[in-house]
């Protein structure tokens, strides 16, 4: 599991059994090195919370309360994910739920804090002593086990992930070209180069991040203005009204949320390496938003072409369901504003579950170009985006298209030309704003 011993991370996902009261993960040295390191035990329960113990020293290293962002740590009958990380170089132990990121960690233990000693040589000596102590105790941990797995799993299905790299710092959501990365970006973690991400993300980025991918091409310089007009007065408005009762339809007799809709304009064809057609222009009217949804474990690059929106990130759809059941609302673990020209990303490890919201109140639409690609190692190719409906059930959404790009552009040009020529009644913009 661990790189050189004592460093790495693991993730375990399973449905918690109906009778499970606690889950235990134990970390040990290799069989031929038992006695040379301190085993560590993670115990997770709704009674004690999350407790991390050094079994040799009989010492509690870290704890977290039983309440996990408004929910119990163990939710019987629900799909749960637990992860642990050992960072040997920085001497940090972590544990958390859902995605393996520090934003979702619940327990942590830092075995060394930077000294106040002003002498740099003394500080380095103190750090080396602390590192030596850490390596002696935990540097040879190389295997882990789930205690009595059959007693804590409901259906026996068990997904495990191992990596030799620990969790240290979450990657930021904003991407920049390598020539635009600054020292401040590196120091503060405000943006990263596309080279930090997967080959799939890099390929998508190269196709959409360029300066010529913009909303006002030379042959239609008022494209964005025409979209805003059509959303309020033209064929886009008509389509949006029809989609209110069709998009994300669950089959119930409930009243649909008129703001939970948008337009999808597809570019190119489905070549089989993404959920649906890989390139999509999405048009978000003011105040509109998506359901909370995930992305088939695919990679994606999103570039804002016009306006801005808020991106909210969630741990998992299952967690969203539980929060809505118990708290009447899902809480994102983080959010950010993506403005015109910004490029953001997601993959199977981070930002996979989100909600997009056009927060503009001045009537300006937000327009993005989004593109998707499965991981090369993904052999299942799940074709849908799952989302949580208004009735708090999870449904598959087939990535469809309102128009292909060429048809949409031609139709929009014709409509806006008639508007500018005065052959259609010009709207009273003041009245529209007042309404």
DSSP state letters, 74-95? --TTSEEEEEEEEETTTTEEEE
Identify whether the C-beta of residue 190 lies closer than 8 Å to the C-beta of residue 174. yes
102 is in which domain, residue-wise? 40-162
Q: How confident is the model at residue 435 (pLDDT cuts 50, 70, 90)?
A: very low
Banded model confidence at residue 53, pLDDT cuts 50, 70, 90: very high
Condensed to tens digits (0 to 9), the pLDDT of residues 206-256 reads 999 999 999 999 999 999 999 999 999 999 999 998 888 665 454 544 545
> Over the range 212-241, which residues count as b (16 or more CB within 10 Å of their CB) and which as e?
eeebeeeebebbbbbbbbbbbbbebeebbe
Q: How many domains does the chain have?
A: 2
Rounded to whole angstroms, the Cα distance separating 61 from 109 reads 6
Phi and psi torsions of 168, nearest 5°: -120, -55
Sign of the CA dihedral 160, 166, 172, 177? negative
Q: What is the pLDDT of residues 81-119, one digit of tens each?
A: 999 999 988 999 999 999 999 999 999 999 988 767 678
181 and 149 within one domain? no
Out of 30-34, 62-66, 127-131, which region has the weakest mean confidence (pLDDT)?
Answer: 30-34
Same domain, 288 and 385: yes
> In this structure, what DSSP letter does residue 286 have?
T
Same domain as 237, residue 304: yes
126 and 192 in a single domain? The answer is no
pLDDT of res. 253: 45
pLDDT at residue 1 tops 60: no
50 and 106 inside one domain: yes
> 309, 359 in Cβ contact below 8 A?
yes
Residue 192: the pLDDT is: 93
- Least confident interval from 77-81, 153-157, 346-350, 362-366: 153-157
- Name the pLDDT band for 60 (thresholds 50, 70, 90): very high
**What percent of the chain clears pLDDT 70, i.e. is strictly above it?**
92
CA–CA gap between residue 109 and residue 62 (Å, rounded): 6
Render 42-62 in DSSP notation, one character per residue.
EEEETTTEEEEEETTTTEEEE
Residue 432: pLDDT band (50, 70, 90) is very low
pLDDT of residue 335: 95
| Pair (178, 157) in one structural domain | no
Decide which of 103, 128, 162 is a domain's last residue: 162
List, in sequence order, every residue forming a beta bridge with 159; answer none if it has no partner.
13
Dump pLDDT digits (tens) for 15-41: 999 999 999 999 998 777 766 789 999
DSSP 130-158: HHHHHHHHHTTEEEEEESSHHHHBSSS--
Does residue 125 lie within any of the structural domains?
A: yes
Above 80 in pLDDT, residue 6?
no
Question: Are 178 and 294 part of one and the same domain?
Answer: yes
CATH classification at residue 195 = 2.60.120.10
Last residue of a domain, one of 127, 162, 197: 162
Residues 75 and 150 grouped into a single domain: yes
Q: Is residue 128 situated within a structural domain?
A: yes
> Is pLDDT of 311 > 90?
yes
Label residue 116 exposed, middle or buried (CB < 10 Å: 0-12, 13-18, 19+).
Answer: exposed
Q: Is residue 79 a part of any domain in this protein?
A: yes
302-314 burial, b at 16+ Cβ within 10 Å, e below that, comes to: bbbbbbbbbbbbb
What is the C-alpha radius of gyration for the chain, rounded to an integer number of angstroms? 25
112 and 235 co-located in one domain: no
The reported pLDDT for the residue numbered 356 is 97
Res 5: pLDDT: 63
From 139, 162, 185, give the residue that closes a domain.
162
Asked whether the beta carbons of 141 and 28 are under 8 A apart, the reply is yes
**Contact 5/166 with Cβ under 8 angstroms?**
no
Q: How would you classify the pairing of strands 49-54 and 59-64?
A: antiparallel
pLDDT tens digits for range 145-202: 998 888 888 877 788 888 888 998 899 999 998 889 999 998 998 999 999 999 999 9
Question: Is residue 428 predicted with pLDDT exceeding 60?
Answer: no
Average the pLDDT over each of 5-19, 284-298, 345-359, 396-410 and give the range with the smallest value. Answer: 5-19
pLDDT of 424 reads 66
What does the pLDDT look like over 255-283, one tens digit per residue? 457 788 999 999 999 989 999 999 999 99
Query: Within a domain: residue 106?
Result: yes
Does 398 lie in the same domain as 269?
yes
pTM score > 0.85 for this model?
Answer: yes
Locate tokens 């389509």: which residue?
239
Mean pLDDT of 126-141: 88
Please state, rounded to an integer, the average pLDDT across all residues of the chain: 88
Q: Give a yes or no: residue 6 inside a domain.
A: no
């Amino acid at each position: 599991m661990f790189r050189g011993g004592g460093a790495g991370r693991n993730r375990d996902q399973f449905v918690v059994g109906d009778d499970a009261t606690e889950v235990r993960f134990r970390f040990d040295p290799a069989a031929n090195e038992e006695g040379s390191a301190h085993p560590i035990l993670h115990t997770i329960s709704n009674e004690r919370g999350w407790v991390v113990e050094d079994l040799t020293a009989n010492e509690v290293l870290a704890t977290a309360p039983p309440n996990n962002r408004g929910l119990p740590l163990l939710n019987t009958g629900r799909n749960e994910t637990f992860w642990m990380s050992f960072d040997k170089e920085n001497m940090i132990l972590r544990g958390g739920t859902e995605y393996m990121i520090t934003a979702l960690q619940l327990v942590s233990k830092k075995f060394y804090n930077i000294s106040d000693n002003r002498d740099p040589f003394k500080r380095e000596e103190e750090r080396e002593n602390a590192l030596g102590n850490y390596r002696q105790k935990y540097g040879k941990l190389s295997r882990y086990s789930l205690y009595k797995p059959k007693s804590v799993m409901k259906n026996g299905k068990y997904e495990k992930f191992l990596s030799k790299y620990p969790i240290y710092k979450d990657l930021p959501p904003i991407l920049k070209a390598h020539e635009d990365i600054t020292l401040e970006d590196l120091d503060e973690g405000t943006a990263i180069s596309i080279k930090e991400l997967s080959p799939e993300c890099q390929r998508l980025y190269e196709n959409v991040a360029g300066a010529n991918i913009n909303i006002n091409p030379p042959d239609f310089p008022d494209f964005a203005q025409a979209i805003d007009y059509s959303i309020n007065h033209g064929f886009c408005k008509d389509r949006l009204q029809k989609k209110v009762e069709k998009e994300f339809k669950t089959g119930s007799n409930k009243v649909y949320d008129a703001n939970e809709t948008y337009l999808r304009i597809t570019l190119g064809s489905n070549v089989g390496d993404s959920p649906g057609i890989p390139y999509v222009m999405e048009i978000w009217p003011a105040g509109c938003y998506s359901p909370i949804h995930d992305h088939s474990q695919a990679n994606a690059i999103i570039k804002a072409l016009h306006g801005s929106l808020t991106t909210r990130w969630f741990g998992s759809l299952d967690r969203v369901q539980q929060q809505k059941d118990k708290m009447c609302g899902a809480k994102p673990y983080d959010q950010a504003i993506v403005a015109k020209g910004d490029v953001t990303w997601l993959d199977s490890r981070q930002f996979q579950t989100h909600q997009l919201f056009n927060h503009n109140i001045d009537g300006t639409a937000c327009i993005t170009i989004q593109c998707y690609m499965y991981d090369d190692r993904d052999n299942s190719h799940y074709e849908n985006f799952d989302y949580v409906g208004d009735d708090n059930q999870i449904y598959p959404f087939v990535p469809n298209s309102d128009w292909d790009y060429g048809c949409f552009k031609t139709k929009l040009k014709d409509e806006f030309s008639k508007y500018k020529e005065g052959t259609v009644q010009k709207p009273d913009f003041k009245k529209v704003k007042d309404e």
